[in-house]
Structure 1
Amino acid sequence: MTSRQTAPTTPQPLDHRFTAPLEKDGTYATFVTVPGSAELLGTRRAVKVGGTIDGHPFTATLMPSGAGPHWLPVRAALCKLIGKDKAGEEVEFRLDQRFS
């Protein structure tokens, strides 16, 4: 493999469930803070994950907040699908895959 090639993305199992309120600010339109993410993932870097939000499948890249936990951006289409888009609304997450 040359220095320009990268290893294929393969899923690794995760089992992390949490409920968090939707948040909004200028960084991402809508996001949640993932509690304990730095410890769970062993890094403060960006990490692609997959799972469910209120039972609906999704993939996203957890973004480091710089202060500890990661932020999980929630796309507008997914907010519409789950019927929640206001700051403070509680959402249930299950992270079941990490892509590396």
Structure 2
Amino acid sequence: MTALDYTFTAPLEKDGAFATFVTVPGSAELLGTRRAVKVSGTIDGHPFAATLMPSGEGPHWLPVKKALCKLIGKESAGEEVLFHLQERLS
């Protein structure tokens, strides 16, 4: 595991390969790769672990599970969510 301390706000998106996701700004530069990367952190203060998926265009997509959307009370595209990436998992 590698410690991360990256906080960003992004709107929920609903399109493409994942039911719900966000685009992680500056992720390729932050992580030093355009490949899939497992991370953990918080979404609106709730813990999560997920795999950041490469978009092919630079930034990664972070899939957000339906149960987590329901827990944070944000399920619609365009709703802003606060993320804090805390660890890069191996």
TM-score class normalised by the smaller sequence: over 0.9
Structure in which a larger fraction of residues adopt strand:
2
> Between Structure 1 and Structure 2, how many residues are aligned?
90
Report the secondary structure of 1:77's partner residue. Answer: helix
**Alignment partner of 1:43 is 2:52:** no
Q: How does 1:11-50 map to 2 (within 5 A)?
A: 11-50=1-40
Tell me, yes or no, if structure 1 residue 62 matches structure 2 residue 52: yes
Q: Where does structure 2 lack aligned partners over 5 or more consecutive residues?
A: none
1:36 counterpart letter in structure 2: G
Percent identical across equivalent pairs?
79
Residue in 2 that maps onto 1:77: 67
Q: Note if 1:98 corresponds to 2:88.
A: yes
Larger radius of gyration: 1
CA RMSD of aligned residues (A): 0.5
Structure 1 residue ranges, 4+ long, deviating more than 2 angstroms after superposition: none
TM-score, with normalisation over the residues of structure 2?
A: 0.98
Partner of 1:3: none
Please give the alpha-carbon distance, in whole angstroms, between the structure 1 residues aligned to 2:6 and 2:75.
23
Matches of 1:13 and 1:19, distance apart in 2: 19
Gaps of 5+ in 1: 1-10
